[in-house]
Amino acid sequence: MSTAGHPTPDPADRPADRRADRPADQDAAGLVIALDGTSGSGKSSTSRGVAARLGLAYLDTGAQFRAVTWWLLQQGVDVHDTTRVAALADTPRLVSGTDPGAPTITVDGEDVSGPIRSEAVNAAVSPVSAVPEVRARLLALQRAAISEALATGRGIVVEGRDIGSVVWPAAPVKVYLHADASARAARRATEEGGSDPSATEQSLLARDAIDSTRATAPLVRADGAVEIDTTPFTLDEVVGQVVGLAEAVEART
């Protein structure tokens, strides 16, 4: 199953309720798990594990921001030129696959799942993510993906930094993951094939600072989110905690 990948419509062409600061159908039946947190805290692995265990779809919103960043770099755009980035925000066609076992993302039909994890994209994604026009375009795609999952009755796990606070505030399960900076750096260094943990830690802390202080949709713990420090736990233990939260919510409905 894949999400809608069309450019964001002009706001003037949308119904009034879709211009509001909430998804129009956020009260639709179905399970939405909003999983936010800091870089390297285990969001992706946890989200995919939870989605697989519960039979839900999965959406990596960070991959969408990386995909836009990758495209801008391919075009030779200075990612610090906010005017230029804003003007091009609607140009690339993005499609996100929502299979937790094999998530994909394409830009104009090209699979960029690998290239978006490059060092060049790592270094450029924060300034791109802070541009309001980029966030607005991707917000529309993210809400469309959630609506699609709910319409099929499947439900979805969505990971990012503003899912519970901005993208889908009515999610019945909200989780905020974080971990000790050194632990996050060690995990990320391992994922990247043995990069310098010290340099990785500084990069993560810099990303935290940018994400937490940007003017549009900063990284915050959403109201009602359960906070989990993943530092002392294995991946299976963290997945189990989130699954337990979801099962408790479903038992009450």
The residues, any chain, with a CB within 8 Å of residue 216's CB and separated by 6 or more, are: 130, 131, 132, 135
- Is 49 among the annotated ligand-binding positions? no
Is 92 a domain residue? yes
pLDDT at 43: 92
pLDDT of residue 248: 95
> What are the average pLDDT values for consecutive 10-residue runs of the chain, which has 253 residues?
36 33 48 91 94 97 97 98 98 97 96 95 93 97 96 94 95 93 73 69 72 70 93 94 95 82
| Distance, C-alpha 222 to centroid of its chain | 14
| Domain CATH number, residue 132 | 3.40.50.300
Does residue 19 lie within any of the structural domains? no
Is 212 annotated among the ligand-binding residues? no
240 carries a ligand binding annotation: no
96 marked as binding residue:
no
If phi > 0 it is left, if psi is from -120 to 50 it is alpha, else beta; for residue 180 that is beta
Q: Which domain holds residue 35?
A: 30-252
| 42 annotated to a ligand binding site | yes
Residue 214 lies in a domain: yes
The reply, when asked if residue 155 is annotated as ligand binding, is no
41 known member of a binding site: yes
Cα 137 off chain centre by? 14
Is the residue at 59 inside a domain? Answer: yes
Sign of CA dihedral 88, 218, 25, 148: positive
Query: Does 60 fall in a domain?
Result: yes
How many other CB atoms are there within 10 angstroms of residue 101's CB atom? 8
pLDDT at position 245: 97
pTM above 0.85, yes or no: no
Could you tell me if residue 18 is inside a domain?
Answer: no
The reported pLDDT for the residue numbered 214 is 67
Residue 48 lies in a domain: yes
As to burial, measured by CB atoms within 10 angstroms (0-12 exposed, 13-18 middle, 19+ buried), residue 115 is middle
- State the total domains in the chain: 1
The CB density around residue 76, as the number of other CB atoms within 10 Å, is 6
Q: Is residue 162 part of a domain?
A: yes
Residue 39 marked ligand-binding: yes
**37 annotated ligand binder:** yes
